[in-house]
Structure 1
Amino acid sequence: MDTEKYFDYILSETQKILAIDSPSGFTRNVADYVLSAYRALGYEPVQTVKGGVFCEIGGADTKDALLMEAHIDTLGAMVSEIRPNGYLALSPIGGMNANNAEAENCTIYTRDGRTYTGTFQLQNASIHVNGDYDSTKRTYENMEVVLDEMVSSKEDTLALGILPGDIVCFDPRTTYTKSGYIKSRFLDDKLSVGILLGFAKYVKEEQIALPRKVYQHITVYEEVGHGGAASIPSDVTEVLSVDMGCVGDGLTCREHQVSICAKDSRGPYNYDVVSGLIAAAKRKNLDFAVDIYPHYGSDADVALTAGYDVKHGLIGSGVYASHGYERSHKDGVINTFLLLTEYLK
C-alpha cells in the first residue's frame, strides 16, 4: 500500500473541508462537498434528515456491522445583539472560548444570503486608550465583532441586513509546515473526516474485502451534543468515533501519535473494543498512546445515551490546543489511518 498517496489525499480533502465554514447548524455547504467526495470515489452516499452524510463502504453481511463516525460541524457563534455602536454581540455555538477567539477574523452570513467580514475584539480594544485592557476578562459580554463596514449605529448595521440569529464563522487559518505539522482551527474534527475519506478511498482502490459491513457517518451536530444520536442501522453492533486525540498535561499522547481513549468524562469505552484497538496498534507496530480524557464526550458516547445497544470506541490523531488554534502532525494522521486498516482486517 502506498501510504503517502493516501496521506496526500487525506491532507488535500481536509484542507478543502476546512475552507468551508460549518459551525453546528450551518453545515449544508460542507455536507454537499463531502457527498461529492464520496461519489467521486465511486460510492453512493445519502444525506440524513439532520443533514449528515451516511455511506456504506462495503464488507460482508455478518449482522455485526461497524459504524465509523466523524463530524464536520465546528465551533462558531451567532449574532445575539446589534449594539448601539453597530458592532455585534455574539452567543457561542459549541465550546468556542472567547479567549481563544480574540482578534480572530470572521465572516457573518445573513439569512438572505449576504456575507460580511469583521474581527472579534475586546470592547474598546486599543491599548493606548483602554487602561483596563490587561485586567478585563475575555467573555462574550465584553467582546464584539467590529464590522469591516462604515457603521456607527444599530440602524447602520440593520441596513446591511444583519440580524440576531445570523451565523458567525471564524477563520480557520489552515497551514501545513515543511516539518509535517498541520495547524488550523477546527481540526476537531475535519481532520478525521479527511481520514475517513482516505479509508474509503483505500477500501475502493485496494479492493479490500472487509470481514464485516462498514458504514461511515459524517455527523453535523457533535459540537452541541447530539450528532451521533440517530441514523444507526439495525445491524450495527459497534460504533467507532474517529475524533481528535487529546494532547496536554497528564496525558501521554503527542501530535505524531494515534490516541486510543480508554475513558472520557462520560465513562469508560467498551473494554473489548479498546483492547482490540490496542492489539491492532501493536500488531502494526504503530506509534500510539492510551489515555483518559478529562473533559470530553464523543458521538459514540451519544449513541449509547440515545439508547442504542452497541459497543463503542474512540480514536484520533493527537491534536494540541483543542478548541483553539489546533495542531496535529502528518505522523499522527498516518498512524490513525493505519490503525483503521489493521483493526478492520
Structure 2
Amino acid sequence: MSGITIDTGYLVEQLKALLAIDSPTGFTDTVVRYCTEELERLGLTPELTRRGAIRAVRRGSRRDGARSVVAHLDTLGAQVKLVKPNGRLDLVPIGNWSARFAEGARANIYSEEQNFRGSVLPLKASGHTYNDEIDTQPVGWTNLELRIDQRTTSREETRALGIDVGDIVAIDPQPEFLDSGFIVSRHLDDKAGAAITLATIEALERTGSHTPVDIHFLFTIAEEVGTGATAIVAPEVASMVTVDNGTSAPGQNSSEFGVTVAMADQTGPFDYHLTKKLVELCRENEIEFQKDVFRFYRSDSASAVEAGHDVRTALVAFGVDASHGYERIHEHALHSIARLLTAYVTSPLEIQRDVDEISDMEGFTEQPTADRED
C-alpha cells in the first residue's frame, strides 16, 4: 500500500473554502486568485493563462513525458437575458443544467458595480393565487424569473440599480457537511475535484515524495461550457488524468464510495493503457473502485484531445447523486481518489516512448489479441 497519507481534514476545509466562492463560467477571477495563493502556500509556482486557467508544475526527475492532473474551478450558473417589464429578470443557464433545480434557489446577481441578492422563482409561484397551476405549469428556463431583493417593480427601476442584460447570476451552493461523511451541496462538480487535487499536492509536499517525471497540476475555468483544457496543456505532457464527478444513478455503475474509473464518455473510450494502469494501482493499493461508462458526459479530457493535444487521457470520478442538481457525495470517495492520484504520480513510467511526441514502432504499446484457429 502507498505510504503517502492524505489529510482529509485539509481536503474538506479546501472544499468548504472553494464552495464559498462564486465561480460560474465567465466569472472565475476570485476563485483563480484563491487557488493560486493556496498553490503558492503549498510551495509551487503557478502560471496563469490570459483568462486564468492555472498550471502548477511540480518538478520530477524528467521534464519530457510529464503527467498532468486536471480539475475545473468553474461551476454552473445563469446570466441575465432580459430585464422584464415587471422589474424581474429573465435568465439563461450557464452550462447544461435543468431549470427544475433552479426553482427556489437563492442567488447573487453581479452587475458592473455591485452585487444584489435574489430568488429564482417559477412564473406562477404563489399557491394562494394560482392554486393547482403551480404544479401543472411547464418546467423550463422560459418559465422562470429572478426576483431581486430590492424595491423594484419595473424595467426602469431595475436598470437604475445597475442591473442589465448579461449580468452573471451565481447560484448559492447551500452546503451541508454531515457527521456521516456525506456532503450535500450545489457545485460539488467540480469544487470537490479541485479540493482533491489540492489535497494530493499537500500530501506530496508534506512527505517530500519523488516523482519520475514532472507533474502538471491544471485548474481550468470553462469546463462547464466545453472548452476547459483547450489551451493549458503543455507539449511535454504525455498523459492527463481528469478529476471530476461520476453519476451514481440508475443504470450507472458509479458509487459515492471509492474511486469510479471511467472507461468511456460520450466522446469515446479513454486511453486503454492509462485506464488499465489506474485500475491496477487501485488493486495494488487496496483502494475501493468500480468502473463506469458515461453516455451524456464529457470532461476536460475531451476538450484537450479535441484541441489537438496528443495525450493519453483518463477520468477518475467521485460518485455524485443528482449531478448538476442539489448534489451529494461522500468523503470516502474524495479520500480514495487522492490516494490513487498520489500513487499514480509517484509510480514508474512504463511507456518510455511517450517521452517523445513522435517516434517509430520501437517500444510501441501492445493490446491483447484473440487467438483464432485457421
- Equivalent positions of 1:21-170 (< 5 A) are 21-61=22-62, 63-112=64-113, 114-131=114-131, 132-170=133-171
Residue 17 (structure 2) pairs with residue 16 (structure 1): yes
Q: Deviation string for 1:268-324 (max 9, x for gaps)? A: 000001111110011111111100012100111111111111110000211111000
| Inter-partner Cα distance in structure 2 for 1:100 and 1:180 | 24
Match of residue 305 from structure 1? 306
Match of residue 175 from structure 2? 174
> What is the number of residues matched between the two proteins?
343
| Inter-partner Cα distance in structure 1 for 2:121 and 2:4 | 46
Give the secondary-structure state (helix, strand or coil) at the position aligned to 1:68.
strand
| Inter-partner Cα distance in structure 2 for 1:330 and 1:159 | 46
Asked whether the 8 Å contact 1:245–1:258 carries over to 2, the reply is no
| Inter-partner Cα distance in structure 1 for 2:321 and 2:50 | 33
Match of residue 328 from structure 1? 329
Taking only the aligned residue pairs, the percentage that are identical comes to 34
Asked whether the 8 Å contact 2:242–2:315 carries over to 1, the reply is yes
Asked whether the 8 Å contact 2:4–2:207 carries over to 1, the reply is no
The alignment yields a C-alpha RMSD, in angstroms, of 1.1
Asked whether the 8 Å contact 1:13–1:194 carries over to 2, the reply is yes
Partner amino acid for 1:121?
A: L
Note the C-alpha offset of 1:3.
3.8
Match of residue 287 from structure 1? 288
TM-score, normalised on structure 2? 0.90
| Inter-partner Cα distance in structure 2 for 1:20 and 1:184 | 13
Asked whether the 8 Å contact 1:57–1:203 carries over to 2, the reply is no
Q: Deviation string for 1:215-263 (max 9, x for gaps)? A: 0110000000001111211111111111112211112221112110001
Note the C-alpha offset of 1:2.
7.3
Asked whether the 8 Å contact 2:229–2:301 carries over to 1, the reply is yes
Give the secondary-structure state (helix, strand or coil) at the position aligned to 1:151.
coil
Asked whether the 8 Å contact 1:27–1:72 carries over to 2, the reply is yes
Match of residue 255 from structure 1? 256
| Inter-partner Cα distance in structure 2 for 1:343 and 1:58 | 15
Asked whether the 8 Å contact 2:4–2:339 carries over to 1, the reply is no
Asked whether the 8 Å contact 2:4–2:203 carries over to 1, the reply is no
Asked whether the 8 Å contact 1:262–1:290 carries over to 2, the reply is yes
Q: Deviation string for 1:56-107 (max 9, x for gaps)? A: 0221215211111100000000101011110000011001311011101001
Note the C-alpha offset of 1:195.
0.7
Where does the alignment leave 5 or more consecutive residues of structure 2 unmatched? 348-374
Give the secondary-structure state (helix, strand or coil) at the position aligned to 2:25.
coil
Give the secondary-structure state (helix, strand or coil) at the position aligned to 1:129.
helix
Asked whether the 8 Å contact 2:54–2:232 carries over to 1, the reply is no
Where does the alignment leave 5 or more consecutive residues of structure 1 unmatched? none
Partner amino acid for 1:310?
A: V
Asked whether the 8 Å contact 2:53–2:232 carries over to 1, the reply is no
Asked whether the 8 Å contact 2:71–2:190 carries over to 1, the reply is yes
Partner amino acid for 1:53?
A: I
Match of residue 231 from structure 2? 230
| Inter-partner Cα distance in structure 1 for 2:339 and 2:212 | 17
Residue 199 (structure 2) pairs with residue 203 (structure 1): no
Asked whether the 8 Å contact 2:5–2:203 carries over to 1, the reply is no
Asked whether the 8 Å contact 1:259–1:317 carries over to 2, the reply is yes
Asked whether the 8 Å contact 1:77–1:96 carries over to 2, the reply is no
Match of residue 192 from structure 1? 193
| Inter-partner Cα distance in structure 1 for 2:343 and 2:53 | 27
Match of residue 266 from structure 2? 265
| Inter-partner Cα distance in structure 1 for 2:98 and 2:247 | 17
| Inter-partner Cα distance in structure 2 for 1:195 and 1:59 | 20
TM-score, normalised on structure 1? 0.97
Partner amino acid for 1:147?
A: I
| Inter-partner Cα distance in structure 2 for 1:23 and 1:241 | 19
Asked whether the 8 Å contact 1:265–1:296 carries over to 2, the reply is yes
| Inter-partner Cα distance in structure 2 for 1:196 and 1:214 | 12
Partner amino acid for 1:105?
A: R
Partner amino acid for 2:288?
A: D
| Inter-partner Cα distance in structure 2 for 1:43 and 1:185 | 29
Q: Deviation string for 1:162-192 (max 9, x for gaps)? A: 0001000000001110100111111100101
| Inter-partner Cα distance in structure 2 for 1:57 and 1:175 | 33
Give the secondary-structure state (helix, strand or coil) at the position aligned to 1:242.
strand
Partner amino acid for 2:117?
A: T
